[in-house]
Structure formats: C-alpha cells, structure tokens
Structure 1
Amino acid sequence: MDLAFLHPLYEHPGPWASVYVDTSRHTESTARERKLTAQWLAGDLAGQGADEATCHAVRTAIEELAHSPEPHGRALFARAGEVVLDPPLAAPPGGSSAVWATLPHTAPLLDLANEEPVCVVAYIDRKGAEFELRGALGSEEAGEVTGKQWPLHRTATSDWSVRHFQLRVENVWEHNAAEIADALAVCQEETGADLVILVGEQRERRSVHERLPRRLQDRVAEARHGPGSRLLDDDVERIRAEHLRGRAAEELELFLAARAPDEEGRTRAVEGVPAVVEAAREHRIDELLIHSGGPDTRREVWIGEAADQVAVRRGDLTTLGERHPAQARADDALVRAVVETGAAAVSVPSAPESGAPVGGVGALLRWA
C-alpha cells in the first residue's frame, strides 16, 4: 500500500486525535445515532486529555456524516482544533473509536483503507470497451474506446481465402486490444485508481491484460460476465478483497524468501520491533509488514521530532541528540517512518502456517 496520502499528518507536531467512525449501519434512526456517536467520541477524547477545540472539530465532522451514504466509514485525524485528514474507509472498522496520542493512529488504515479507494472497470468486447469508475460513493462513466469494426468474426472452413480472412480477423482483435489497453492505462493514471477490473470473455480480457504496461500488472483483476451485464457493488468489493488478499500473500512469500540467509549469511528481511526499528532509523525499509493483531504492534517505543528518530530505548535517542523523546505505539511510529522515507506497507495474515513476522512486525529491506 502506498502511504503517500498520509504526508499531511506528519507536517505538524502532536498530540493527535485519531477517530474511526463506522457508517456501515443504515436505519431510520441513523442520523440520531451518529449524533450520539459524535458526542460520545468527543467526550472520550476529552477524557483522554484532548483540548476542547479539537474535540469540537471532531464532533462537528462526525455530525456532518449524519446523512452520509458511505457504506463503510471514515477516519478523522485532528489536532489544534482542525481535522487535517479524513480518508474514507474501504472496509467497516468494526465499531467507532477514538485515540488521543503523540502520533496519529494510522496503522489500522492498512486493513481499512486504500489511498485511492477507486477502481476502473473495463467492459470489453471485440469492438471496444466502456470504462466505469467505481468507488465508495458510487459509480460514474469514465469514457469508451471504439476499435476497428470489420472484420470481427471467424468462419469454419479451410479455404485459403477464408484463412486469409481469418488472419485479418485476428489482426483486428489484436489492434482493438492494444487500443483498449492504451486508453485504460491513461484512464488509470488520470484517476489514480488502485485496481483495474477487466470484464468480458476470456480471450478479450487476456488480450487486453497482456498489453497493459508493466506498472499495472499487479493492479489488474479479471471477471467473466455475460454480454451487457454490469458488476454489482458486491461484485466489485469481492474482487477487490480477493485481489488485496492475493497481494498480501505474495508480499508474505517475498518476506519468507528474503528471511533466509544468502551464501554470505546476509538477509533481506528483519522481524521483531528492535530489528525493524533499527532498519527504520537507517532508512533501509523497502516495505513494512504489519499484522494488526500482533502483540508487538502495541509495544511502546521512543520517538523524536524527525520520522527516522525512533528507538526501543530512550537513551538511544538522547545519544543522537534528541532532547525531548516521547513514547508512541510501535506500529504508528513505523508507519510514520516509512511514509517519510517513501517506503510501502502491507497488512499480512495472522495464521500460524502463514509465517507472519515475529510479534506481527517485519520488513523487507532495501539492501542486506
């Protein structure tokens, strides 16, 4: 997951209010319930020591969600009386919650949000394609491509002239697939979509898939649907969830392979808070792996003003010249570190056989 959208949170000092609002339940009394939720969460923050202006900003922001159609929820990050960032969630948070702490509590976003919770759905046939943007707030048309219209259909005979005709049919298919792939790549780049879904017959999907640029190959999913049919919201969510699980499994496999020493005894992966914190301090993390239920994710570490000022022991920071070290959760401190160094992060499964990092915290390194 690309965490660049979190940069605004680390341009200001803490403490921060981090609030996760569940909007997945919709009833006749939703507006009243969300107003009560706003009061409760603002009161919870006040009890944790948050200032009155920030509590008021959070309460107002939640009350404004009273009639929100968002199917899952929203995260709110506020300080000094202002909501600095409020990304929509791509999955329900399982209840609303609020935290007041030195750093914004961003680690849950690895499971609950996408940096751009939008995907492009391409409905493909031999004549061209229609593009549709699908996000948390609905869908909208995103353009279409019309390729060559003739000839498009093959025949079943061995006559030489007919075989020549069939070759022309193949050429038209290949030409149209290339045009669709080019237009789809432009659409994805302009919208910043995190996923491209190809819908259509297997041959047409595969032809377009093979012609998409390499940068998109790990952002593509395929779905077979009948002619003229459209993906339902549940279809899109299922495909997105399957895609994300597959990506997480691939990253975990890379981690397991990198954890094994090479011929010189060096590894390209580390696990456990002390080792990952050291790698963060040295800007060596290429991708952070977090299992949200891991016991070490909640472990307290010491941080300084700069993102790479993170240590297990307070004295390690004072030795480096930090005069006012503060404590923070390990997962939040490490997320801040990877955001500021341009690294990525991924949530990994927890099953014992999956080989998840020790304590729920690991990292692939930029160099051994």
Structure 2
Amino acid sequence: MKLHFLEPLYARPGPIVSVCLDTSRDGDDPDRAIELRLRNVRESLRSQGADEATIDALARAAGSDRDVAGPHGQALFAAQGALVLAERLPEPPALSSARYGMLPDVLPLVLQHAPAFPYAAVLLHRVHTHEPGGGEDEVELDHETGHWPASRVAPDPRVHRRIPAEDWPKEAEQLLAELVEGVEGEGTEAIVLAGDPSTVNSLIRAAPRKLRDLFVKLKDGHPRRPEPGRALLEAELAGLFAGRLPAHDRHQLDTYLGQRARHPEYVEGIDASVAALQRGQVRALILDRPVRHTRHLWVGWAPSHLALASEELSAFGLRFTWEEPAAGAALIRAAAGTQAELIVVPEDELPIADGVAVLLRYTEV
C-alpha cells in the first residue's frame, strides 16, 4: 500500500491531534451518540494539553460523514487550529482514541486501509419500462472502482447509466475500454461482475484477453442495492477479499523472504527495521497483524531521524529529539517520508520477530 495520502500530516511540524471516532449511523440516535463520544475526546485532549482552537477544528469535522450509512468511523487530525486530514474508517474503532503529540498517530488508520486491493465492481440489470405504447427493455449499469477495504465507506464515484437494450453492445465496448484503462492505470487486479446472467456473459464474451483472467462472476445474480455512501457489492466483496493480498504485495513478500533467508539480521525485527529506515533503504515496511509494538523510539524532525536510543541521534549532531511512545507512528512516518510502501500481513501467515520487518531496495552484502 502506498502512503502518499498521509503527506498532509507531515507537511508541518507537530504537535498534532489524532483522533479515531465511532461515527456509525445505525443506532437509534446516532448524532447524540457521536456527541457523547466527542465530549470524552475533548476532555482527553484538554488533559493532554491540546489548545481549544485545534480541538474545535477537529470537533467540527467529527460526524461530518453523514452520507455514510451503517457502522463506520473517522480518523481525524488537526494542528494549529485547523483540520489537516479526515479519513473514513470502514470499521468503527472498538474504543475512541485521542492523542496529542509531536507525531500523528496514524497506525489505526493505515491498518484499516491495508491492503488496498485495487478492484472494479460492475452490476448489470435488465429492466422493462412500462410506458404508453408498450415500453422497452433497458440495461441498467453501475460501475465503481476502489481499493479494498477503505472503499467500503469511501468508494470512487459511481457510474450509473440506463441504456436501451439494443444499444448495449456499444455501451459494453465503452465499459470494457474503461476497465482496460483501470488495469493499465490503477493496477486493477479483480473485476467483480454481478447481475443479469445473460448481460454479464455478453460482456465477458466481448472482453479482450487481458481482462478475462481478472473477471470474478458472482453466483448471486441479484445482489441487494448498496446503502448510501457504501461500496457497490460490499457484502460480496468482503467475502471475496477476506485474507487476500494484492499480487504486488505477494511479490514483494516473496522477495523479502529471499532476503530474510540470506541475511535475517538486516531485514527482520525492530533493530534491523530502524537501521534500514535511517538509511532510506526500505522499499516496503512489513507489519504483522495484530500489531504489538510496545517499544519506544527516539525521533527528530526528519522522517529518517529514527533511533532506538537518544544517543544514536545525538551522534548524528541532532539538537532536538524526543522519545516517541507510539512506535507505529514513528515507523509509518519514516516509511512515508522515504517513499516506502506498507504491507500488513496476518501474524499466523508470516510470523516476524518484533512484528516488524523491511524489504530492502538494495543490499550492501
């Protein structure tokens, strides 16, 4: 997963407020529930020394995702009296969190965005219009793209069209061109098809070879319509992508395993990971899920200012450093600031010492 969406958080120095909040709208009085959670967040931030202007900026954004139905949350970041970033969370946090510190606490956010599986969803229905004179058959098309699982509550804009059935072959040609563009531009790895079987089959038959291996045809020909603000075919995608990594991530993990087999001391564990991030040598930061980082790290202003002890940074001539209690925040900033990617893998699938490892861009041995 690329981390460029975090860039606004690192464009200005801290301190910064980081909040994860349950903003679900599936209860009896969601606005009241959100307000109560926000009240507790405000009190926590005040006790940590956050200024009122910054707290107010964050509070104004809390619950602003009213267009999203069902359970979900928000990750909110504010500094110097202004909102810096607001992202939707596909799952509500079990408990609201609020932190005021020098680095944004982005770990809960990136864990909910990973693995960022790129896909397209297409839903096709046949409908008959009842009009004076008999009406006509039409094809109703919904087409949406996204990166799972963040797209559960933040999908790309949906294309919705209704066309006469006789014009479907021409419309199918246009849709296939859009799908090819997604594969070539966004790296789409799965194209999920559902709806009227005959219409879906006609699309598959007309598809170029490069798309056919990516098609996933759902057995249920009549999936339910999505709730407001949520992904097309959400329930079906959840089952399809459960435990699945993008091919790009799998390839990188294979390369990492080769590096670990030769020189584990350079790629596995917190010591090796910190040393590689210091040098800007990391192609991908790898985290086990669940994350269990309890060790504090020392950091400075730059992303590569990262160490296990203050003496290491002092040796580099840094005058201002601090102990960062959230190791994940320091590791993610270092990865994002050195253009490294993030891979999150289940611990039972790939156990890693300290739960953290790195894929190196190059090796010196």
Q: TM-score, normalised by structure 2?
A: 0.75
Over 3 Å counting, the alpha-carbon distance change for 1:268 and 1:240 in structure 2 is farther
Match of 2:356 in 1: 361
1:222 to 216, 220, 229: 216
Q: Distance in 1 between matches of 2:69 and 2:154?
A: 7
Please tell me whether the aligned partners of residues 54 and 82 of structure 1 are also in contact (alpha carbons under 8 angstroms): yes
Which residue identity is paired with 2:329? D
Does residue 142 in structure 1 map to residue 159 in structure 2?
A: yes
1:132 corresponds to 2:143: yes
Residue number in structure 1 paired with 2:128:
none
CA distance in 2, matches of 1:12, 1:356: 36
Distance 2:258 2:334 in 1: 25
Map 1:200-239; keep pairs closer than 5 Å. 205=204, 208=207, 210-212=209-211, 222-225=216-219, 235-239=233-237
Relative to structure 1, is the Cα distance of residues 46 and 208 closer, same or farther in structure 2, using a 3 angstrom cutoff?
A: farther
Work out whether residues 120 and 188 of structure 1, in 8 Å CA contact, stay in contact via their aligned partners in 2.
no
Alignment of 1:143-292 (within 5 A): 180-186=175-181, 196-199=191-194, 205=204, 208=207, 210-212=209-211, 222-225=216-219, 235-240=233-238, 242-243=240-241, 245-247=243-245, 251=249, 255=253, 258-260=256-258, 265-266=262-263, 270-292=267-289
| Aligned 8 A contact 2:189 2:246 in 1 | no
The question of 1:86 aligning with 2:97 is answered no
Change (3 A) 1:365 1:199: farther
- C-alpha distance in 2, partners of 1:252/1:357? 16
Alpha-carbon distance in 2 for matches of 1:63, 1:309: 35
Q: Does 1:303 align with 2:299?
A: yes
1:134-157 residue CA offsets vs partner (Å, 9 max, x unmatched) = 7526896416699x989x9xxxxx
| AA partner of residue 255 (structure 1) | L
- The code of the aligned residue for 1:280 comes to L
Name the SS for the 1:199 alignment partner: strand
SS in 2 for 1:17: strand
Mind listing any 5+ residue stretches in structure 1 that lack a counterpart? 153-171
- Following superposition, the deviation at residue 322 of structure 1 comes to 1.4
Q: Distance in 2 between matches of 1:244 and 1:303?
A: 35
Classify the secondary structure of the residue corresponding to 2:267.
strand
Greater CA deviation, 115-124 or 332-341?
A: 115-124
TM-superposed deviation, 1:72: 0.7
Q: Which residue of 1 aligns with 2:319?
A: 323
Gaps of 5+ in 2: 126-137, 146-150
Provide the residue aligned with 1:160 in structure 2: none
C-alpha displacement of 1:359: 1.5
Identity of aligned residues (%): 26
SS in 1 for 2:89: coil
How many residue pairs are counted as aligned between the two chains? Answer: 337
Determine if contact 1:78/1:85 at 8 Å carries over to the other structure.
Answer: yes
What letter corresponds to residue 308 of structure 1 in structure 2?
S
- Confirm or deny: 8 A CA contact 2:285 2:341 kept in the other structure: yes
Amino acid at match of 2:309: R
SS in 2 for 1:247: coil
Q: Quick check: 104-113 or 198-207, which moved more?
A: 198-207
Segment drifting more, 62-71 vs 315-324: 62-71
Distance 2:254 2:189 in 1: 25
- Contact 1:124/1:205 (CA < 8 Å) preserved in 2? no
Q: 1:163 corresponds to which residue?
A: none
Distance 1:205 1:128 in 2: 16
Secondary structure of 2:357's match?
Answer: strand
Tell me whether 1:109 sits opposite 2:106 in the alignment.
Answer: no
- 1:248–1:346 contact (8 Å) kept in structure 2: no
* C-alpha distance in 2 between matches for 1:279 and 1:68: 40
CA contact under 8 A between 2:255 and 2:359: conserved in structure 1? no
Cα 1:192/1:145, change in 2 over 3 Å: farther
Query: Once the 2 structures are TM-superposed, how far is the Cα of residue 189 of structure 1 from its aligned partner?
Result: 8.0
**Aligned to 1:21, what secondary structure does the other structure show?**
strand
How far the C-alpha of 1:29 sits from its partner, in A, is: 2.0
- C-alpha spacing 1:11/1:238, structure 2 compared with 1 (3 Å): same
Q: Distance in 2 between matches of 1:239 and 1:143?
A: 19
**Contact 1:270–1:363 (8 Å) recurs in 2:** yes
What's the secondary structure of 2:95's corresponding residue? coil
